[in-house]
């Protein structure tokens, strides 16, 4: 069992899930005039929904909540609360996943109150029913056991943070690790095969080294102070 359950999500799955989500919306007989992506996680699904649902108006609101992959941070905030006139419009707010539910709720409330559309509905690819405070109006997959979904648009960011976390928290990493032992620890912590990460693995090591969080010398990777 991995310490932190992670599932790598592929681009193909994203397209398939977005298409499934679009079908659910269509079947409900409701059609949005405007799609609003919750930035940044909602961007790709929102753009795909525009294609499947034939919607041309795509906006975004930026909300921030999680600062570190697979680790909860403090409350969600809306970064740029701009105004538009959405009178009479049906608005669909789209995000990748409802985990706590804070982010999408914040976006929905803001849009309702400030843009005053005719109606706001929410749609996400995934809904973690065991932890979420709310259920989106539309979701494609219900997740029962909490998992970190490693979406393809945050692969470098997540892999970098995953490695950092091992180096910070695993005693076995203190004196430095060979590449092979780091890969083994990674698989043990996250249940993800390093060979499935393609070039992202090397990019993450390069980034950590560039940011002076690790030192790579003589085939040994060592955490640096401040990492
Ligand atoms: P929501 O309000 O939609 O439930 P959260 O506030 O829980 O979202 O999380 C904000 C964002 O963090 C999500 O839109 C997603 O991009 C990312 N995120 C949160 N939980 C997960 C997870 N379990 N797997 C992958 N990404 C996640």
Strand-pairing partners, residue 216, are: 221
Nearest ligand 1 atom to the CA of 107 is 2
- When the pLDDT of each residue in the chain is averaged and rounded to a whole number, the result is 94
Q: Could you tell me if 168 and 96 lie in one domain?
A: no
pLDDT exceeds 80 at position 166? yes
Q: Say if strands 57-64 and 77-78 run parallel, antiparallel, or are unpaired.
A: antiparallel
Percent of the chain with pLDDT over 90: 85
Q: Which two tokens stand for residue 1?
A: 């069992």
* Same structural domain, 94 and 158: no
pLDDT band at 120, cuts 50/70/90?
Answer: very high
- pLDDT the model gives residue 73: 52
In a domain, 1, yes or no: no
Residue range 75-110, pLDDT digits in tens = 778 999 999 999 999 999 999 999 999 889 999 999
pLDDT tens string 46-59? 999 999 999 999 99
Which of 150, 177, 197 represents a domain boundary (last residue)? Answer: 150
168-179 confidence digits (pLDDT tens): 999 998 889 999
Among 9, 66, 130, name the best residue to mutate to test ligand 1's pocket (greatest count of ligand atoms within 8 A of Cβ): 66
Q: What is the pLDDT of residues 26-41, one digit of tens each?
A: 999 999 999 999 999 9
Neighbours of 66 (CB within 10 A): 17
Model pLDDT, residue 226 = 66
Same domain, 133 and 164: no
CATH number for 123: 3.40.50.2020
Contact 64, 85 (CB under 8 A): no
Residues 163, 60, single domain; the answer is no
b/e 28-52 (16+ beta carbons within 10 angstroms → b): eeeebbbbbbbbbbbbbbbebbbeb
29 and 113 both lie in a single domain: yes
Q: Is the pLDDT of residue 124 over 60?
A: yes
Kindly state the tokens that stand for 57: 């108006």
Percent share of the chain, pLDDT over 70? 94
Could you give the 3-state DSSP secondary structure of residue 124? Answer: strand
Evaluate if residue 71 carries a pLDDT over 60: no
Query: What is the rounded CA–CA span in Å between residue 75 and residue 102?
Result: 8
Q: Residue 69 pLDDT more than 80?
A: no
Domain containing residue 162: 152-223
Q: Do 33 and 133 fall within a single domain?
A: yes
Residues 169 and 143 in one domain: no
Closest listed residue to residue 54, CA positions, set 26, 90, 74: 26
CB-based contact 179:219 (threshold 8 Å): yes
Domain count, the chain: 2
Do residue 88 and residue 162 come from a single domain?
A: no
d(C-alpha 18, C-alpha 120), whole Å = 19
Task: Say what the alpha-carbon torsion angle 14, 164, 131, 13 is, to the nearest 10 degrees.
Answer: 10
Choosing from 40, 97, 159 the residue with most ligand 1 atoms within 8 A of its CB, the one to mutate for a pocket test is: 97
- pLDDT at residue 70 above 70? no
Q: Which residues lie below 8 Å from residue 31, measured CB to CB, with a gap of 6+? A: 25, 53, 90
Is 70 exceeded by the pLDDT of residue 66?
Answer: no
Examine residue 11 and state whether it is found in any structural domain, yes or no: yes
Residues 85, 45, single domain; the answer is yes
More confident residue, 71 or 175: 175
Which ligand 1 atom is nearest residue 124's CA? 3
Q: Specify the residue for token string 């979406």.
A: 151
Ligand 1 atom with least separation from CA of 66 = 12
Boundary of a domain, candidates 127, 150, 173: 150
- Cα→Cα distances 11→15, 35, 146, Å: 6, 21, 21
Helices and strands (DSSP H and E) totals, the chain: 6, 11
Q: What is the CATH number of the domain that holds 158?
A: 1.10.10
d(CA 60, CA 80): 10
Cα distances from 212 to residues 41, 164, 186, 206, in angstroms, run 28, 12, 20, 10
**d(CA 103, ligand 1 centre) in Å:** 8
Q: Please, which pLDDT band fits residue 1 given cuts at 50, 70 and 90? A: confident
């Amino acid at each position: 069992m991995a310490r932190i359950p992670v599932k790598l999500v592929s681009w193909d799955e994203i397209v398939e899930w977005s298409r499934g989500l679009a079908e659910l919306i269509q079947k409900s007989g409701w059609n949005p005039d405007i799609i609003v992506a919750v930035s940044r996680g909602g961007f790709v699904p929102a753009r795909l929904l525009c294609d499947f649902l034939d919607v041309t108006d795509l906006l975004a609101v930026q909300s921030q909540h999680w600062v570190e992959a697979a680790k909860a941070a403090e409350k969600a905030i809306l970064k740029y609360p701009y105004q538009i006139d959405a009178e009479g419009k049906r608005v669909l707010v789209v995000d990748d996943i409802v985990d706590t539910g804070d982010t999408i709720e914040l976006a929905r409330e803001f849009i309702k109150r400030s843009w005053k559309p005719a109606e706001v509905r929410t749609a996400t690819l995934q809904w973690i029913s065991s932890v979420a405070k709310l259920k989106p109006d539309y979701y494609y997959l219900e997740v029962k056991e909490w998992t970190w979904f490693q979406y393809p648009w945050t692969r470098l960011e997540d892999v970098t943070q995953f490695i950092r976390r091992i180096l910070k928290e695993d005693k076995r990493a203190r004196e430095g690790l060979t590449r092979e032992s780091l890969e083994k620890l990674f698989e043990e912590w996250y249940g993800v095969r390093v060979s499935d990460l393609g070039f992202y693995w090397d990019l993450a090591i390069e980034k950590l080294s560039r940011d002076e969080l690790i030192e790579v010398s003589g085939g040994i990777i060592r955490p640096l102070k401040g990492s």
